[in-house]
């Protein structure tokens, strides 16, 4: 089969918000205006879902029937992003005859959910029908998507112009991964994570990373109890659901590495005892570009544990005017409750959504395509260290989450391409000569996306 080449001009705009197609428009594309105070709602002619990012062309409208592309996961990419094969229609909900549909004995969609006690008592199906009868009503999956959409709407009440970063955080939440947010000071990195935490009924803690921070200040330490006369373990802030690691690259690598075990294995080992972290655990780390004074480069092992790296740029003029308008009307970023931000997604709903994401089917051809992309990074002349197998599994997890969010019936090469840059950009190391020539990781990945054959 001849190698498929897709012109770069047809690629989606990574820094444009999602443009839902008419046949699969996600309900979260436009936050409901009635849920936000008047001063906390974007103008009707400039909603958060349509705010462009700085230095970018308007997003190209996808062809009819093509799955909607993700929001701006990488603000600051000046060129077009990963190419997308033209003429191929991504799977949509309800396509019963779709070629990638899972076998009849594989639970998917609504059948992947367990029955509630009330449903179990209401019906006593035959043993052969247990799998089908144990599923919740067909609206359950749509309700879960609506719940995730409400989180987006709550975040929009306090954060303007960072729709792509919001999408990335939601994908990481659904995939059970961690997120690294990079940007210059003052682009709402910390506010974005704080608002997301406020919109979830989950425990949240924050650690301000400083040069004198010690590993025990994060994971916990053994302390002496004067009353009992014994030594006991005092849990650190890592024992939470969402950990905001603020300015993570302003502390030495020794302290940064204290999160390695927690991020990968969801546990902390101290004094010969292993302690499990909560079921839902997300590290949302913020950092300034490494060129800034007083910063340390994150270790490669820790970078590889982040599912996504999202780059936040300065907002455009219209978005910045909206920010000032909200502050002039009384918005206080330190009081999110006054802004109307309320919890809209609990742990039970999140667990159900994560289970649904894990059931999104993936064909062998798509799996092979993801592997081919990762292997191409290892042989690129510009790359010193390519993507590891952990990076390939991260690409699959993020693609599944995105496919579920937009209502696709299965993962397609379009979804793999859409996730490739934010998932892989921090997992490759460039050769010094490539860096001297001004070649960046995003440029190398776009080139690889053009060269690797796309399965039809």
Q: What is the pLDDT of residues 263-320, one digit of tens each?
A: 999 999 988 889 999 999 999 999 988 767 788 888 888 999 999 999 998 988 999 9
Domain at 139-340: CATH code: 3.40.50.300
Tell me which H or E stretch contains 383: strand 383-385
Residues near 7 by beta carbon (within 8 Å), at least 6 away in sequence: 83
Tell me the HSE value of 39 on the side-chain side, using a 13 A CA sphere: 13
Q: Is the dihedral of CA 405, 411, 414, 415 positive or negative?
A: positive
Q: What percent of the chain is modeled with pLDDT above 90?
A: 52
Boundaries of every domain in the chain: 139-340, 357-455
* Helical H segments across 176-314, by residue range: 189-198, 216-219, 253-256, 260-265, 300-303
The answer, yes or no, to whether residue 119 has pLDDT greater than 60, is no
Tell me the HSE value of 349 on the side-chain side, using a 13 A CA sphere: 20
Contact 98, 410 (CB under 8 A): yes
Domain covering 357-455 assigned CATH 1.10.8.80 in the classification: yes
Greatest distance between any 2 Cα atoms in the chain? 76
**CA–CA distance, 364 with 352 (Å, rounded to integer):** 26
**CA–CA distance, 222 with 216 (Å, rounded to integer):** 9
Tokens standing for 240? 């939470």
pLDDT of residue 417: 95
For residues 90 and 361, the model is more confident at 361
For residues 435 and 78, the model is more confident at 435
pLDDT of residue 23: 41
Tokens standing for 232? 């006991």
pLDDT of residue 270: 84
pLDDT of residue 178: 96
Beta carbons within 10 angstroms of residue 443's beta carbon: 15
């Amino acid at each position: 089969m001849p190698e498929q080449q897709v012109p770069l001009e047809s690629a989606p705009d990574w820094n444009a918000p999602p443009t839902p197609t008419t046949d699969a428009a996600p309900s979260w594309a436009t936050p409901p205006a009635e849920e936000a105070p008047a001063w906390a709602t974007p103008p009707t002619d400039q909603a958060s879902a349509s705010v462009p990012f700085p230095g970018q062309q308007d997003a190209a409208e996808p062809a009819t029937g093509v799955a909607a592309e993700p929001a701006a996961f990488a603000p600051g990419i000046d060129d077009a992003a990963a190419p997308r094969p033209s003429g191929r229609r991504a799977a949509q909900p309800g396509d019963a005859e779709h070629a990638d549909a899972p076998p009849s004995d594989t639970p998917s969609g609504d059948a992947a959910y367990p029955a509630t006690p009330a449903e179990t008592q209401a019906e006593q199906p035959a043993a052969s029908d247990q799998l089908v009868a144990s599923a919740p009503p067909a609206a359950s999956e749509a309700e879960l998507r609506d719940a995730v959409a409400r989180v987006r709407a709550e975040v929009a009440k306090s954060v303007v112009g960072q729709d792509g970063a919001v999408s990335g955080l939601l994908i990481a939440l659904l995939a059970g991964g961690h997120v690294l947010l990079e940007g210059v000071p003052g682009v709402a990195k910390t506010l974005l994570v704080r608002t997301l935490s406020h919109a979830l009924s989950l425990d949240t803690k924050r650690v301000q990373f400083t040069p004198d921070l010690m590993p025990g200040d994060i994971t916990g330490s053994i302390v002496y109890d004067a009353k009992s006369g014994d030594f006991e373990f005092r849990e650190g802030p890592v024992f939470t659901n969402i950990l905001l690691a603020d300015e993570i690259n302003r502390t030495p690598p020794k302290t940064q590495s204290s999160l390695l075990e927690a991020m990968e294995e969801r546990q902390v080992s101290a004094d010969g005892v292993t302690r499990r972290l909560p079921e839902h655990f997300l590290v949302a780390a913020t950092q300034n570009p490494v060129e800034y004074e007083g910063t340390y480069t994150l270790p490669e092992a820790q970078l590889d544990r982040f599912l996504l790296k999202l780059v936040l740029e300065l907002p455009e003029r219209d978005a910045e005017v909206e920010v000032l308008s909200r502050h002039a009307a009384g918005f206080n970023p330190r009081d999110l409750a006054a802004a109307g931000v309320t919890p809209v997604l609990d742990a039970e709903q999140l667990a159900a959504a994560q289970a649904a994401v894990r059931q999104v089917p993936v064909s062998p051809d798509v799996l092979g395509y993801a592997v081919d992309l990762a292997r191409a990074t290892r042989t690129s002349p510009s790359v010193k260290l390519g993507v590891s197998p952990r990076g390939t599994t991260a690409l699959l997890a993020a693609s599944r989450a995105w496919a579920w969010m937009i209502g696709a019936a299965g993962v397609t090469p379009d979804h793999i391409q859409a996730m490739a840059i934010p998932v892989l950009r921090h997992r490759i190391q460039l050769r010094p000569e490539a860096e001297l020539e001004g070649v960046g990781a995003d440029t190398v990945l776009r080139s690889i996306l053009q060269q690797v054959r796309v399965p039809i």
